[in-house]
Chains A and B, each alone.
Chain A
Amino acid sequence: MNLLITSASSLLGVQLADAVRSEHALRLTDFSVFEGEDEVIACAMDADESTESLVAGMEAIVHLTEPSVEFLGASSDPDGLRMDICSRRTDNLLTAAVKMGVGHCVVVSTLHLFDLLDPRWVVNENWRPRPSTNSHLLCPYVAEFVCREFAREGKLSVTCLRMGDLVASIDEEGAIENSFALLPDDASGALRSALEKVGQGWNLYHVQSDLAHVRSSTKKAKGALRHFNP
């Protein structure tokens, strides 16, 4: 299918694009264009025709809530920039998507929305998020909030993947202690499945690799996302 990936220059964007490029025709976009192997379309995601052109012809969108380090680094107020991306620009993206007939958006959020809970609890999709005021965590929560209203009104289907932290291997330094660790293959499998399985309305999954001390149950994702086999 024709697939748009936002913040495609970010580390996660590059990883996820690689995971699905053999199965889908990709259009990559970012707020600014940086050097890389792929062609990336620069789009500010303002409320104008440029955002409508960006999504025209797409069947699905993978919307990343964390922009690239390079883009954030160029701002005098990176916290405010994150908030703008996750609120106004996310609304603009979905408004354009609805207008241009895009049927599905996969929004990639974070399992760190539960950081304020006692880490001894194992959470799942039914738990209320407790984001901190740190913009890394508050802003993905805001993006979820915006996307959920579009799903609630049936304007398009939204799949929300709350992902753990990408690690190269479970044995790498630090990954063993990270109870939200997520291997690249597991992240890729979850996204590939999410693009195949389009449920109506709002579809929420917690995605992390199997560890001795997981913070989140992945039972729902394992049951619904066939390529996700952590």
Chain B
Amino acid sequence: MKVLVLGANGMLGPHVVEELEHDYSLRLTDIKKPDTEHEWQSVDVSCYEQVLRATEGVDAILNLSVLRDDPRYAFPVNAMGCYNIMRAAVAHGIKLIINTGPHFTIAGPSYTDFDDTINPDLPPHPGTLLYALSKGVGQEICRVFSETEHFHVLTLLFYNFRDHDEARSWLEHPFSVSWRDAAKAVRCALEVEVGTLPSRCEIFYILTDLPHGKFRNDKTMRLLGWKPQDRPREIHER
């Protein structure tokens, strides 16, 4: 199976490549080349022609591209990037797209300031924070395409990342996930039998399994078979 990785040289990309490289043929892309032996293309996801060329001949697309708060490029990368990926997937008949983003793609402050038990199937309220809104638009574009096109879009939403052996900061960020558990979630999304999913567009929260109750990750474990391995060590040492 050949997998295109967009944004492979970002923060999560190297962890995902390490997780997948022995079982998949990878085509890595980003705007800056990583140190890699894998097939490589320089791709700006906001350029349709580049995305169309990069997606040729692949079986699945993994979108790790992101630009957080730059007012010039956040929408081109986070929203237009998704639009270009969707158009390219239609053009090449690609059946599986794994998208990624932050938790507030769905649940912005109108949820998080008021509620707990937040699940990924709520109506999206990203709010107006540039990062959240631009990613929220991208996610909505993916949803519209998946309703009429015959491909699946699985979106993995993260709150924050931590090294699995990092100490105290886990307690301040209990909604985090370790890099390696995040990478395993990507593998689960690539390998799930899509016919078992409720729809062609499913969203999952990727969070360490802790009893905070703020966000829910049970859907991820139930449908993707993902089980986070890393928990903050200090909880067991107190």
The smallest beta-carbon distance between A118 and chain B, in angstroms, is 15
B159 at the interface (CB under 8 A from A): no
- Whether A193 sits at the interface, judged by CB under 8 Å, is no
Are B140 and A83 in touch, CB under 8 angstroms?
no
Which B residues between 60 and 108 are near A, CB-CB below 8 angstroms?
Answer: 71-72, 75-76, 79-80, 83-84, 86-87, 90, 108
Q: Is the interface of B mostly helix, strand, loop or mixed?
A: helix
Which residues of B are found within 8 Å of A18, using beta-carbon distances?
A: none
Bound form: Cα–Cα A149–B148 in Å: 25
Contact of A145 among B83, B130, B140, B148 (CB under 8 A): B140
Q: A173 to nearest B CB, angstroms? A: 30
Chain A residues lying within 8 Å of B197, measured Cβ to Cβ, are: none
What are the residues of chain B within 8 A of A31 when measuring CB–CB?
none
Residue in A80, A116, A141 whose CB lies within 8 Å of B80: A80
Minimum C-beta distance from A129 to chain B (A): 9
> Assuming A133-B144, A153-B110, A155-B128, is B133 touching A88 (CB within 8 A)?
no
Q: Is the CB of A87 within 8 A of B110?
A: no
B116 contacts across to A, CB distance below 8 A: none
| A176 close to chain B: CB less than 8 A | no
| CB <8 Å contact, A133 and B79 | no
- Cβ of A107 to closest chain B Cβ, rounded Å: 15
**Interface SS majority for chain A:** helix
CB within 8 Å of B: which residues of A? Answer: 46-47, 77, 79-80, 83-84, 87-88, 91-92, 95, 116, 130-133, 138, 141-142, 145-146, 149-150, 152-153, 155
Q: Are A153 and B128 in contact (CB under 8 A)?
A: yes
CB <8 Å contact, B137 and A87? yes
Contact with A along B170-195 (1 / 0, CB 8 A): 00000000000000000000000000
B residues within 8 A CB of A153? Answer: 109-110, 127-128
B133–A149 contact, CB under 8 A?
yes
> B132 → chain A, closest Cβ, in Å?
9
How near does chain B come to A160, taking the closest CB pair, in angstroms?
16
- Complex CA gap A83/B108 in Å reads 23
Contact A133 B128 (CB under 8 A): no
Known: A79-B87, A80-B48, A87-B137. 7 other contacts (CB 8 A): A130-B147, A133-B144, A133-B148, A138-B144, A142-B79, A146-B133, A153-B127
Which residues on the A side are within 8 Å of B144 (C-beta)?
A: 131-133, 138, 141
Which residue of the partner chain, among A88, A130, A131, A149, contacts B127 with CB atoms under 8 Å? A149
By the criterion CB–CB under 8 Å, are B79 and A88 in contact?
Answer: yes
The 6 closest A-B pairs by CB, nearest first: A88-B75, A47-B71, A87-B79, A83-B83, A149-B128, A87-B75
Check A47 against B48 for contact (C-beta < 8 Å).
no
* A150 and B145 contact, Cβ closer than 8 Å, known pairs A83-B80, A145-B137: no
